Amino acid sequence: MSAFTDWDILRNLLLAARWTVALSLIAFAGGALVGLLLTFMQISGRVVLVQMTRLYVELFQGTPLLMQLFLVFFGISLFGIDVSPWTAAALALTLFSSAYLTEIWRGCIESIPKGQWEASRCLGLNYVEVMYHIILPQALRIAIAPTVGFSVQIVKGTALASIIGFVELTKAGTMLNNATFEPFKVFGFVALIYFLLCYPLSVASRMLERKLHASG
Amino acid sequence: MPLVNIDNVHKYYGDNHVLKGIDLRIDAGEVVSIIGRSGSGKSTLLRCINGLETYSEGGIIVDQMEVTDDDSQIRKLSKSVGMVFQHFNLFPHLTVGQNITLAPKLVRKLSAEEAAETAREVLQKVGLQDKFDSFPGELSGGQQQRVAIARSLAMRPKVLLCDEITSALDPELVGEVLKVLETLATEGMTLILVTHEMNFARDIGDRVIFMHQGKVWESGEAKAVFANPQTPELQTFINAVL
């Protein structure tokens, strides 16, 4: 049996971490896109759309991400469609993050004081004009910090994709541990890499929050 | 035909009967102060005049338009009725100039140049022509409220509704806002004010409406109402606030 040096372990983990990053980016972009659509449905004021969005958000917030991954991975194959772990993970994480982002953004929009609406209405602006010129620009400022903050949850959420066999950072860690029998060292590295990915995001989120609030 | 015609207006919040048959006619150029305790329905009445609140019974006609909460009607009304709020409600992400030009461009369809021209003119009127490019957050409360008045004036309204517009200001800033109102009054603007500034209501106002328990309890020529209240409720109110 060939011996793994520390560098071998770290190198393999870093290579696998590329997939963690890729999956995070896809999940964030996909989640943002779907979340944007859902947010607009939610603020449309149309009862059916609002309730559908509500149900969607409750469903994905009320079930574990792991179950969502299983359901997407095994569920789609029931229809005779072959899904790769990569596709299943990207899809499940997109659905998951879209639900949370929708909730975050709805909160930001609703936090704009009622007086802004009233002043706009008195000036004769219609719903779309109020949204576009008054509410959304202000909500966007407030939304940046919690959105960046939530991206940390997405990065950590990608670890669950290892269960359906997608080789990202955690899965690579498991495989390397099976080869080296040095769990503390291997998973120590794994944790360190996750931390190095997430910490800058947390710091950025905190800085943005301070900056946008101080000048708000 | 009066500019504002309020005819037997009732309003309920659930079981709470807040306006109990209000009749009021206000002519162009009048300065009318609505006074009364909190909870007497005076702010609600004011907010009914431009459709911010709906009413349950009766009718309100402003500038020959029926007031409803229909979107297109509210847009039409906005060209005749302006409103200034207690907490200014300026748009904090826009400059003073943008605050003022937004609605004239969108609703009155002015070009950017025409709107900017209008903005400079109304800012001049409230004495803030040098603040065109400032953000609301950089201004004092009194200045913000004057910008809010200018923003309303840029829509060329025939009547300006003022909802306790000096109540959120530091005492030393109240004067500059009242001075602007006084100028508007002398220029013939129709003003309907819900106010706690009794001196202003008495000295500048033409007419005072005292509201009590959702009704117009007493009304009349401003100086006479203060000098010679007819009901014990108004007597008590005046003694408490003056």
pLDDT in tens, A12-40: 999 999 999 999 999 999 999 999 999 99
**Of A121, A126, A138, Cβ closest to residue B52:** A121
Residue type, B101: T
B85 domain residue, yes or no: no
For chain B, the helix, strand and coil percentages under 3-state DSSP, each to the nearest 5: 40, 25, 35
Q: How far apart are CA B76 and CA B123, in angstroms?
A: 24
Asked if residue B147 and residue B233 are part of one domain, the reply reads no
Distance from CA of A129 to the nearest CA of B (A): 8
Instruction: Say yes or no for a CB contact (<8 Å) between A216 and B92.
Output: yes
B151 — contact with chain A (CB < 8 Å)?
Answer: yes
Q: What's the pLDDT at B52?
A: 92
Assign B201 a pLDDT band (cuts: 50, 70, 90).
very high
Q: What's the pLDDT at A193?
A: 97
B45 domain residue, yes or no: yes
Task: Name the pairing type of β-strands B81-84 and B159-163.
Answer: parallel
Q: Which residues of B touch A141 (CB under 8 A)?
A: 93
Asked if residue B55 and residue B130 are part of one domain, the reply reads no
B164 domain residue, yes or no: yes
B116 domain residue, yes or no: yes
Half-sphere exposure of residue A2, counting CA atoms within 13 Å on the CB side?
A: 6
Q: What's the pLDDT at B213?
A: 93
Number of domains in chain B: 2
Q: Which residues of A touch B106 (CB under 8 A)?
A: 124-125, 129, 133
Q: Which regions of B16-98 does DSSP assign to beta strands (E)?
A: 16-26, 31-35, 57-62, 65-66, 81-84
Q: Which residues of B touch A123 (CB under 8 A)?
A: 78, 102-103, 107, 151-152, 155
**Domain boundary at B117, B140, B156, which?**
B156
B50-97 per-position pLDDT tens digit: 999 999 999 999 999 999 888 888 899 999 999 999 999 999 999 999
B99 domain residue, yes or no: yes
Asked if residue B228 and residue B199 are part of one domain, the reply reads yes
> What tokens does B39 get?
């909870």
Q: How far apart are CA B18 and CA B79, in angstroms?
A: 28
Q: Is the pLDDT of residue A1 over 60?
A: no
Asked if residue B44 and residue B152 are part of one domain, the reply reads no
> How much of chain B exceeds pLDDT 70, in percent?
100
Q: Is the pLDDT of residue A216 over 50?
A: no
Q: What's the pLDDT at B68?
A: 87
Q: What is the mean pLDDT of residues B218-228?
A: 93
Instruction: Say yes or no for a CB contact (<8 Å) between B75 and A216.
Output: no
Task: Name the pairing type of β-strands B207-212 and B190-194.
Answer: unpaired
B132-171 per-position pLDDT tens digit: 999 999 999 999 999 999 999 999 999 999 999 999 999 9
Asked if residue B120 and residue B217 are part of one domain, the reply reads no
Asked if residue B192 and residue B138 are part of one domain, the reply reads no
Asked if residue B206 and residue B134 are part of one domain, the reply reads no
Q: What is the mean pLDDT of residues B12-36?
A: 94
Domains present along chain A, CATH in parentheses: 9-214 (1.10.3720.10)
Q: Is the pLDDT of residue A215 over 60?
A: no
Asked if residue B236 and residue B205 are part of one domain, the reply reads yes
Q: How far apart are CA B188 and CA B190, in angstroms?
A: 6
Instruction: Report the run of H or E that residue A93 belongs to, with start and end.
Output: helix A85-110
Asked if residue B106 and residue B13 are part of one domain, the reply reads no
Asked if residue B152 and residue B37 are part of one domain, the reply reads no
List the 72-91 stretch of B: residues with Cβ below 8 A of A.
Answer: 74-79, 81-83, 85, 87, 89-91
Q: What's the pLDDT at A45?
A: 80
> How much of chain A exceeds pLDDT 70, in percent?
97
Q: What's the pLDDT at A2?
A: 63
Q: Which residues of B touch A122 (CB under 8 A)?
A: 50, 52, 78, 81-83, 152
What's the whole-number average pLDDT of chain B?
94
Q: Where in the sequence is the domain holding B217, given as residue range(s)? A: 4-80+157-241
Q: What's the pLDDT at B176?
A: 95
B134 domain residue, yes or no: yes
> Lowest mean pLDDT: which of A73-77, A196-200, B99-103, B123-127?
A73-77
Q: What is the ipTM of this complex?
A: 0.92
Asked if residue B216 and residue B173 are part of one domain, the reply reads yes
Instruction: Report the run of H or E that residue B192 belongs to, with start and end.
Output: strand B190-194
A3 — contact with chain B (CB < 8 Å)?
Answer: no
For the four alpha carbons of B45, B48, B54 and B55, in that order, the dihedral sign comes to positive
Q: What's the pLDDT at A212?
A: 76
Instruction: Say yes or no for a CB contact (<8 Å) between A216 and B106.
Output: no
**Domain boundary at B105, B137, B156, which?**
B156
